[in-house]
Amino acid sequence: MQTTLTDRRSFLKKMAMASAIAAAASMFPGIMFAAEQEKGIPKNANLDWKKGPCRFCGVGCGVLVGTENGKAVAVKGDPNSPVNKGLCCVKGYHSIMALYGKDRLTHPLVKKNGRYVKTSMDEALDLIASKMKETIAEHGKDAVSIYGSGQWTIPDGYAASKLFKGCIGTNNVEANARLCMASAVTGFLTSFGLDEPMGCYEDIDHADVFVLWGNNMAEMHPVLFSRLLDQRLKRGVKIIDFATRTTRTSTAADKSILFLPQTDLAVANAICYEIIKNGWVNNSFVEKHCSFSKGLTNMGYGLEDNYTFTDKPEKISFEDYKTFLEDYTPEKVSKLSGVSVRDIKYMASYYGDPNKKVMSLWCMGMNQHTRGTWINNLVYNIHLLTGKISQPGNSPFSLTGQPSACGTVREVGTLTHKLPHGVVMNKEHREFAAKIWGVPAENIPSKPTYHTVEMFRALDRGDIRFMWIQVTNPMVTMPKLKRYRDGAKKEGRFIVVSDVYPTPTTDIADVILPSAMWIEREGMYGNSERRTQYFEQMVDPPGEAISDTWQLIEVAKRLGYEKQFPYKEETHIEEIYTEYRKHHDNIKHNMAPLEVLKSQSGAIWPYVDGKSTKWRFNAKYDPACSNGEDFHFYGKPDGKAIIWQRPYEPAAEEPDNEYPYWLNTGRVVEHWHTGSMTRRIPVLHQAMPHAYVELHPDDAERMQIKTGDAVRLTTRRGEITLPASINERGVPAPMQVFVPFFDENILINDITLDSFCPISKEPDYKKCAVRVEKA
Ligand SMILES: Nc1nc2c(c(=O)[nH]1)N[C@H]1C(S)=C(S)[C@@H](COP(=O)(O)OP(=O)(O)OC[C@H]3O[C@@H](n4cnc5c(=O)[nH]c(N)nc54)[C@H](O)[C@@H]3O)O[C@H]1N2
Ligand SMILES: Nc1nc2c(c(=O)[nH]1)N[C@H]1C(S)=C(S)[C@@H](COP(=O)(O)OP(=O)(O)OC[C@H]3O[C@@H](n4cnc5c(=O)[nH]c(N)nc54)[C@H](O)[C@@H]3O)O[C@H]1N2
Ligand code: SF4
Ligand SMILES: [Mo]
């Protein structure tokens, strides 16, 4: 049966039978239809509907929220949103319930003699400001830090960066997106010189083949995945799931190809080898628009404190690159990766076919990787060699996870080395930011300090003494968690946590600030396709809760920065956004004015002459192209994208006799990360009540383990015990296990490894060695 997302209603009418929704739901895993949802919308309700982006993932679906008597009571997909065209997934439809958990934090709590005591917001903010002053006086500026989030709104991140980098004068600003998107960023910067995808979601409507490089899209980007499935119904496109584990995405795909962890590096090189060997290179594109480079190898894994790495890129020739690829014949790579020669050639043939448009999609499989920057480069290589880039349907597309990982962390620049425009290492960039911030340029230090893992190491060592944590739950999500939890709890550390519920992170706080959440305040998020979306305040926050932005502003004023933070309570979001736009006031990055964001479902940047730029670097669509050619990779001084020579190197810790399995971790569709919100939504919690370990059925049989049996996992960091899951949600490959991290009672990160990509500093949560035993 044919269906489109836009005429979903008539499709549903046509189906008009009880089983229809069940059938559709199995075609669109994780997706719910409005009809199903509407059963829950109160009849005769006189609802006030307002639009905004969904609270949860980086897809950035447009939702309509219905409020009544000051409460959010209904959600539906916004049919006018080009992102989701009226659809939502289970999390989107239940998002408003996340506001109303029974144990919402409503008042500031201050730890006194080991107990939390209620205080007024004013007192709590006074205490935070005085502690910051005290710490700076005693230990210096670099002893205070802020750790934020890709779930920060744009104004939250902007206020944090301005306060810490511009006013206080420390680069101790990081965000959880380091754990998530950092390799995507360094991948973009090394290959193209500019961050974020060149294409947009419309690529899905044009591509013939989709290759997912270790992205469980059916569960993690469900509505976007439904757009792929919809295209398959309409146009017969092919979906290839290239992954280490069989998931719902694999079963929905046309072809599932499994590879051994880390060997994607080798397979990507083998695909390039095949493309060259078969004469599928787009020679004129490569000659005009690409150059070749190599960097240092054997970079290490960042396992020691203060580990640094600086790459030394070197130009090479196409011939050098071809010689390098001789090591990556499909035959050789097949042995290493477990992928058959036939399947390697199969993937290469789609990339090589000039008549097929190919979209590659990825997320944490490629980013949480000790060679995360490299594997991002390698997938770009495939698209560059074949010239399949920056055109509708030909698109290497790095997906983001959080609702504003792009908007806030990457665009506002809430990472230690970043500024909204440019980097702290560059004098002109510092001067430019300082001017807009109204601070002396000398205030902004020219050296980055700590990336996330190193920031928590510094807290453990005592180099950092004060940390403010907003919209993130690191005491569940840091790798090798025990070290960082013990470190944060040491004497002489002062931790402020802004959250909406009690979590393992609020457990270690000296001050807990209750935050106004999502539609309880006004803000903007930026999604995976460079789309900035605005939402207004729709309901009041509970108790004394105020937004993270306003918390920062109040503390900034108490620290004496009234001049830099002159914003008025009623208009501060608009004032901040208007100020923020000045940082990006150029044809390569213009952000749309607020009126535009308010009047439509957001806008894609660069927003130039009243128009979104949908495909960057392509002169047909992108007014910033200026070399007179069809394509212009203007992020690089010579206008050329770089094809990188990057070898396969093993993971930081591989299975051995003592720890014979691979441990992989990740997510499930029902829960958002640490479950702090989704576990308070009864339907989602009941659907997925606790964490488990997935085993391959052969391994389970050998160890006589059945679903529900207790299993002990032991790594070099410690052990945990949890129930087994066999042939349920996902199926790992033999000698591999998988554990989701949403359950704060089963802290899988207590046993993960804190190795990271030395270029991006993003940890590899997908690979370490583990022993598996029946408990
Ligand atoms: N329901 C729900 N949706 C979410 C989230 C959530 O918590 N819940 N979180 C959001 C966020 S922040 C993120 S970052 C995304 C994450 O989205 P995904 O990256 O899709 O999800 P994960 O479960 O983290 O990772 C799963 C994938 O890692 C791959 N993998 C493992 N090892 C390797 C390897 O060596 N190489 C490669 N290439 N792949 C490998 C596996 O094949 C698997 O497909 O989801 C977003 N969407
Ligand atoms: N083992 C393992 N660990 C991982 C990963 C993995 O794949 N495996 N993935 C990593 C990745 S990609 C990511 S993105 C991180 C995510 O890691 P985290 O960001 O630590 O996880 P969240 O649960 O999203 O934390 C968000 C917190 O903000 C709170 N909150 C919600 N709304 C608001 C608000 O408006 N204001 C404030 N102040 N608080 C609010 C929530 O209650 C919650 O406690 O986890 C990383 N950790
Ligand atoms: S796909 Fe993501 S953005 Fe869309 S409704 Fe689901 S959680 Fe929200
Ligand atoms: Mo993420």
Residue nearest to atom 8 of ligand 3 (CA): 92
With a 6 Å cutoff on the Cβ, whether 667 touches ligand 1 is: yes
Ligand having the closest approach to the CA of 766: 1
* Residue 329: both structure tokens together: 């014949």
Contact in structure between 398 and 146 (CB atoms under 8 Å):
no
Give the dihedral sign, CA 13/14/18/20: negative
Residue 110, phi then psi, degrees to nearest 5? -120, 135
CA–centroid distance, residue 90 to ligand 3 (Å): 8
Q: What does the alpha-carbon distance between residue 511 and residue 554 come to, in Å, rounded to a whole number? A: 15
> Quick one: pLDDT at residue 115?
96
Residue 216, phi then psi, degrees to nearest 5? -85, 70
Residue nearest to atom 20 of ligand 2 (CA): 473
> Quick one: pLDDT at residue 44?
59
Name the β-bridge partners of 497.
469, 512
CATH class assigned to 195-402: alpha beta
Q: Say whether 364 is catalytic.
A: yes
Q: What is the DSSP string of 295-307?
A: ---------STT-
Contacts 24+ apart (CB under 8 A), 278-282: 278/348, 278/352, 280/348, 280/351, 280/352, 280/353, 280/354, 280/385, 280/386, 281/385, 281/386, 282/354, 282/385, 282/386, 282/387, 282/388
> Quick one: pLDDT at residue 286?
98
- Tens of pLDDT, residue by residue over 416-475, are 999 999 999 999 999 999 999 999 999 999 999 999 999 999 999 999 999 999 999 999
Whose tokens are 């499935």? That residue is: 229
Q: Which of 401, 487, 523, 639 is catalytic?
A: 401
Q: Which of 91, 294, 640, 761 is catalytic?
A: 91
Q: Say whether 91 is catalytic.
A: yes
Contact in structure between 214 and 258 (CB atoms under 8 Å):
no
Peptide bond into 606 cis (omega under 30): yes
Identify which of 500, 513, 518, 539 has the alpha carbon closest to the alpha carbon of residue 676.
500
Q: Is 666 annotated as a binding residue?
A: yes
> Quick one: pLDDT at residue 187?
98
Pairing type for strands 238-243 and 255-258 reads parallel
Q: Which of 231, 391, 402, 470 is catalytic?
A: 402
> Quick one: pLDDT at residue 16?
33
Integer CA distances (angstroms), 51 to 224, 535, 574, in order? 19, 7, 17
Is 490 in a helix, a strand, or coil? coil
* Residue 582: both structure tokens together: 């000045």
Maximum CA extent, the chain: 72
Is 294 in a helix, a strand, or coil? strand
> Quick one: pLDDT at residue 6?
32
> Quick one: pLDDT at residue 46?
82
Q: What is the DSSP string of 514-575?
A: EB--GGGS-EEEE-TTSEEEEE---SPPSTT-B-HHHHHHHHHHHTT-TTT----TTTHHHH
Contact in structure between 377 and 292 (CB atoms under 8 Å):
no
- Tens of pLDDT, residue by residue over 679-707, are 999 999 999 999 999 999 999 999 999 99
Buried/exposed 150-168: b ≥16 CB within 10 Å, e otherwise: bbbbbbbbbbbbbbbbbbb
> Quick one: pLDDT at residue 11?
34
Name the β-bridge partners of 611.
608
With a 6 Å cutoff on the Cβ, whether 741 touches ligand 2 is: yes
Q: Is 370 annotated as a binding residue?
A: no
Q: What does the alpha-carbon distance between residue 304 and residue 260 come to, in Å, rounded to a whole number? A: 27
Q: What is the DSSP string of 47-103?
A: -EEEEEE-SS-TT--EEEEEEETTEEEEEEE-TT-TTTTT-EEHHHHTGGGGGG-TT
Ligand having the closest approach to the CA of 765: 2
Question: 18-27 vs 8-15: helix axis angle to the nearest 10?
Answer: 130
What residue ranges do the domains of the chain occupy?
5-100, 119-180+404-566, 195-402, 661-752
> Quick one: pLDDT at residue 498?
99
Q: Is 353 annotated as a binding residue?
A: no
Residues in the chain: 775
> Quick one: pLDDT at residue 43?
60
Name the β-bridge partners of 663.
737, 768
> Quick one: pLDDT at residue 285?
98
- Nearest-atom index, ligand 3, CA of 222: 1
CATH class assigned to 661-752: mainly beta
Identify which of 384, 414, 411 has the alpha carbon closest to the alpha carbon of residue 396.
384
Q: What does the alpha-carbon distance between residue 681 and residue 691 come to, in Å, rounded to a whole number? A: 16
> CATH assignment of 119-180+404-566?
3.40.50.740
Domain 5-100 architecture = 2-Layer Sandwich (3.30)
Residues of the chain falling short of pLDDT 50: 1-24, 26-27
Identify which of 74, 54, 53 has the alpha carbon closest to the alpha carbon of residue 65.
74
